[in-house]
Structure 1
Amino acid sequence: MDHAARPYRSVLYIPGSKDRALDKARTLAVDAIIFDLEDAVTPDEKANARTLLAATLKEGGYGPRAKVVRINGLDSDWWREDVAAFVGADIDAILIPKVGSAADVQAVADLIPDVPLWAMMETPQGVLNAAEIAAHPRMTCFIMGTNDLVKELKCRTRADRMPLLASLQMCLVAARANGIAAVDGVYNAFKDEDGLRVECEQGRDMGFDGKTLIHPAQVAIANAAFAPTQAEIELAHRQIEAFDAAEAAGQGVAVVDGKIVENLHIVTARETLAKAAAIAELEGK
């Protein structure tokens, strides 16, 4: 699979301390799993969760799903042992909470070679330093920690997320400037399907690759929202066809459905088709 086109439509948090949840995750239609050792695990369970998760990942069975371990924060007593437990493990990334600067990323990079690193973008300092964090050579994905951002910014939770838009966009711009993935924050009301759908569509329209999820019931909606639609796939094919024909005739511009199609539209069209192909491959179609 083309790594750049790898889908992250649905990125589900699973507590690293819960045997049944770890097992169930093997059967869910998610693009990625965040195995959580941080917020989802109580202090007295931290060491047990780490051991259980390391053993579970050795057993495997997660198929094509991206496997990401969220360690404890760099201000905690646990993070170094968390990282050490997964050196050489079959994982796709380590997720670092509350990243404030590129130095935080480097601190983890020093302890685990070769594994891609992801950053939780959930503090004002992290948002302000998004460009340098995204530019770290080991950084491959931003995860928006919107609950923590709401707390830190002292803003209110609103359906339109207006108080968060500047932070979301600053992180997205930094991610795109450095060619890394960016995944939107969680939607807390996991039984509210309509609300989730609206927020997924907002995130998709902003440019995010997918959504972090807190419940398996949210997976299908996120997968649908962040996948190219059949109409988008067909349009991409028609744009490429029309542009190729225009180029063959010595023209640099084509017209499809009454709209100008230039080279930049063809780049987007090819990305759409690559994403659709990657999703089909992931789903075994």
Structure 2
Amino acid sequence: MRSWILVPADNDKALASVANAGADVVVVDLVRGGHAEKQAKTRLQARDWLISHREQVVAARRFARWARIVPGDSPHWRDDLEAVMEAAPEGIVVGGCGTQDDIQQFAGLLYEIEQRCGVRSNSTRIIPQIGRSPRAALQVPKLLEDMHPRVSALAWDADGLAHSLSARRKRGPGGAWSDPLAYLRAQVLLVAQALGLEAIEAAYSGPREPEPMARAAEGARADGFTGMFATHPAHVAAINAAFAPTAEERGEAQLVISAFAVSPHADSLMHKGRRIGQPELRRARAVLGEA
């Protein structure tokens, strides 16, 4: 999954048009909260949109349906989660995650809600959005310990950390991430790669001009990220282009899959003089769209 577009659940106009944005994943975002009456309406809008796009008959191309929740941001976040789960989304982006305990607790709650909503147990995937605070950013390496099987990717929270630091900038000269944000970004990328998970780059928040956006997406791909968030439909094409596999990458992926064809469940094997394992196999399948 290359492009992940975040669409506010309380923005009727954006919800009406996002299906045709060309993104691989549409993430209905419920984090803005508001008073109880407004939030109740918003969660129903999110649920109804997710339900109405199960078959995706009006979309130009198929996309995955996800939702974003930040536990604790609103007193109604559990109600928000229950509502979107009635639509059986493919997954939940969980903001505010800092530790394995956060992920385990959310996964346990998700299991209970799946049972109540008639959703197949353990079918809903999770992407923790990590590093909302300095303490959470320093805890990232501990995520290597016993990652929950629902987790399919890791993302990082550039806006959350910058706000927590009272930072006056997120990027420095030339568009490079500021040092604290770059540190968090690198840690999340390394942990994701070590665990054989997808790694999702934070959304670009600079000028709307296409060139800076394209450079940001190309830089994320060159650094090893497998996808990127977008907050505007105009950014989706640049992300899709940057993360499209090259002919060489597709060829290598096919060789890796062929190497595992005889023993698909082997922990590791030799390939071109080096040892590869299940993480490499998962990445090869993702390159070919088989994940």
Question: Structure 2 residue aligned with 1:15, among 2, 8, 11?
Answer: 8
**Alignment RMSD (CA, Å):** 3.2
| Matched residue SS, 2:85 | coil
| Correspondence for 1:130 | 140
1:30 matched to 2:23? The reply is: yes
1:160 matched to 2:171? The reply is: no
1:70-114, CA deviations, whole angstroms, 9 ceiling, x for partnerless residues?
123325302111122133432011121111222222332222222
> Relative to structure 1, is the Cα distance of residues 107 and 273 closer, same or farther in structure 2, using a 3 angstrom cutoff?
closer
Stretch of structure 1 that moved more, 52-61 or 261-270: 261-270
Stretch of structure 1 that moved more, 82-91 or 12-21: 82-91
| Matched residue SS, 2:27 | strand
Q: Distance in 1 between matches of 2:90 and 2:23?
A: 14
State the Cα distance separating 1:190 from its structure 2 match.
5.1
Q: Distance in 2 between matches of 1:175 and 1:86?
A: 26
| Correspondence for 1:192 | 209
| Correspondence for 2:119 | none
In structure 2, runs of 5+ residues without a counterpart are 112-121, 260-269
> Relative to structure 1, is the Cα distance of residues 145 and 272 closer, same or farther in structure 2, using a 3 angstrom cutoff?
closer
| Matched residue SS, 1:13 | strand
Stretch of structure 1 that moved more, 48-57 or 172-181: 172-181
Q: Distance in 2 between matches of 1:266 and 1:85?
A: 39
Superposition TM-score, scaled by structure 1 size: 0.76
State the Cα distance separating 1:172 from its structure 2 match.
1.3
User: Aligned letter for 1:141?
Assistant: A
Q: How does 1:6-85 map to 2 (within 5 A)?
A: 7=1, 9-39=2-32, 42-43=34-35, 45-60=38-53, 61-62=55-56, 64-85=62-83
Q: How does 1:99-114 map to 2 (within 5 A)?
A: 99-113=97-111, 114=122
> Relative to structure 1, is the Cα distance of residues 193 and 138 closer, same or farther in structure 2, using a 3 angstrom cutoff?
same
> Relative to structure 1, is the Cα distance of residues 272 and 129 closer, same or farther in structure 2, using a 3 angstrom cutoff?
closer
Identity among equivalent positions (%) equals: 24
| Correspondence for 1:220 | 237
Aligned pair count reads 255
In structure 1, runs of 5+ residues without a counterpart are 1-6, 244-252, 255-260
State the Cα distance separating 1:231 from its structure 2 match.
5.1
State the Cα distance separating 1:129 from its structure 2 match.
2.3
| Correspondence for 1:116 | 125
Q: Contact between 2:4 and 2:27, CA under 8 Å: does it hold in 1?
A: yes
| Correspondence for 2:151 | 139
Superposition TM-score, scaled by structure 2 size: 0.75
For the pair shown, the structure with the greater C-alpha radius of gyration is: 1
